[in-house]
Chains A and B, each alone.
Chain A
Amino acid sequence: MEIILALVIGGAFGAVLDRIGASNPNVIGRMLNLTNLKLMKAILLAIGVGSVLMFGGQMLGMVDVGHMSVKTAYLGVFAGGLLLGVGWALAGYCPGTGVVAAGAGRRDAFAFIAGGLLGAAAYMATYPAIKATGLLDAILGGNATLGTVPGTDYPGLTGLPGDTLGIVLGLVFVAVAFVLPERIIRKDTRLPAE
């Protein structure tokens, strides 16, 4: 049963990533150089919609709280995010969208995946040394959520009710998606001033 769900949800995820342009390196480049933020608006809307439905469903007793999986915060999360950001801008792919782009026949996506397999192997080889630096030691409460989510063991960064806060923040994400301009850097800003 789980395998069928993997095929259906994974297949839908791949198809949607293609249709919103997330697996197109041109679209990623234009988002990150702030000349076309439509994909950013779609991502913000998606986080908001997912959040409102999940926490709303939990409050109505329709979504199993046990399906949540909150990752631990440590300094390496930020450092790894920085590294991923550089590679994301350079290649135009992140791990999931690189796989989808390979499915689209983009040749550079195969180079990205090959580099990714080597990068993951390099992390496997250096993991003990990284762990010894303390970069992986939990900070900010470890696997914490911003509020305290009822029915979970995740520590709350604040004592606010985590499900209500999740819905409020979800609505904030939706609002930001609508307010964010489609373009921040104007075309003319790089031309010499007259």
Chain B
Amino acid sequence: MTLDWKIGGLALGLVFFAAVLLVKPIGVSTQFVILDGVLWDAVDPAVVTQTADGYTATNAYLAKSGGKYAKAVANPLNYSFVFVLAMLAGGAASVWQRGGVGPAERRVPELWRANFGDSPVKRYAAAFAGGFIVLYGARLAGGCTSGHMMSGMMQTAVSGYLFAAGAFAAAVPTALMLYKEEA
């Protein structure tokens, strides 16, 4: 079911190479901001506005770097946003093709269950809080595991090494504290 790490690692490396060969390095976390912007702009169309030479926004973050996020919010059918939607579809197709994830596992993952019990509410609360911290951190860092760690270190980017050092320095002690029972 799970590929041997040598085959899996080679396949993953080829995908990252194909991206930089054909278009640009892979990144994901920016698209959470773009989706937020799309939702926000749907509620309040005054958020993103077209200017003489592009787009701008009332929000300083969407307006930064010459309004490139504002532009993506105005035109969500762009490469980076469609890329993330395709990830969802590709992942779903792969899971379906190998027979799917079982109902108990979909409800509460087994390692979590072994350490914190079978309460879905507790698990979803933790996943929600985790998601909040992950995306706040990724936006502060300017990238996530894909953009900084994988694409960045692959390009010998100093920022990629800096990010990976921070991510593992926090993730390993946290996991050692949380997951004492094995499953």
Contact = CB atoms under 8 A, between A and B. Distances in A.
A114 B131 contact: yes
B91 A104 contact: yes
B43 interface: no
Nearest to B89: A11
Contacts of A90: 126-127, 129-130, 133, 174, 178
Interface residues of A, number: 128
B79 A13 contact: no
Given A77-B142, A123-B139, A42 B91 contact: no
B116 to A, nearest CB: 11
Contacts of B80: 6
B84 A10 contact: yes
Contacts of B20: 50, 54, 63, 67-68
Interface string B4-17: 01101111111111
Contacts of A30: 111, 179, 182
A130 B79 CA distance: 29
A102 interface: yes
A146 to B, nearest CB: 4
A9 B133 CA distance: 28
Contacts of A145: 155-158
A190 B148 CA distance: 34
Interface string B149-177: 11111111111111111111111101110
A96 B155 contact: no
A5 B19 CA distance: 9
A144 B160 CA distance: 10
Given A90-B133, A93-B130, A72 B141 contact: no
Contact of A25 (B6, B10, B111, B180): B111
Nearest to B21: A63
B3 to A, nearest CB: 5
Given A15-B90, A115-B127, A117-B32, 5 more contacts: A14-B94, A30-B179, A34-B175, A54-B154, A103-B95
